Amino acid sequence: MWNDFRAFVMRGNVVDLAIGVIIGAAFGRIVSSLVSDIIMPPIGLILGEVDFSSIFITLSSHHYDTIAAAKAAGAPTINIGVFVNAVIDFIIVALVVFLVMRYVNKMLPKPPPAEPTTKDCPYCISAIPLAATRCPNCTSELPAK
């Protein structure tokens, strides 16, 4: 059983997947930092010095100045700003994955076109197998090629 497991893990696809997950996790942290530290501060400044990461709604009757204070008091909160940052993170990651896959698809060789398996009947224009000598739709005898 150990040898089968080792053979499975050492297959190229599994190793490639593991490397992709590790690189993806690191890329996700970079994108999160990009959004929260570089993109959102100028947007917050333009919108009137708003810090998106501190926008929240308290579901209790008390008022709290920060999310940390609400969490320390055990109050339930809806963290709108954190959600907005997560959505922007997702959009950036999705855009980068799309662009990478688009580039990879352009670099891969195109598969050769498939050989046709049907032809059109010259009488009723129905698709029929290449080897057919009579059309199954209109029963016409087909000319030999």
pLDDT along the chain (145 residues), means of 10: 76 75 86 83 81 84 88 90 85 85 85 90 91 90 80
How would you write the chain as a 3-class SS string? Answer: CHHHHHHHHCCHHHHHHHHHHHHHHHHHHHHHHHHHHHHHHHHHHHCCCCCHHHCCEECCCCCCCCHHHHHHCCCCEECHHHHHHHHHHHHHHHHHHHHHHHHHHHHCCCCCCCCCCEEECCCCCCEEECCCCECCCCCCECCCC
Whole-prediction pTM: 0.57
Confidence (pLDDT) at 12: 64
User: What topology is assigned to 2-110 in CATH?
Assistant: 1.10.1200
Domain map of the chain by residue range?
Answer: 2-110, 114-145
pLDDT at 9: 66
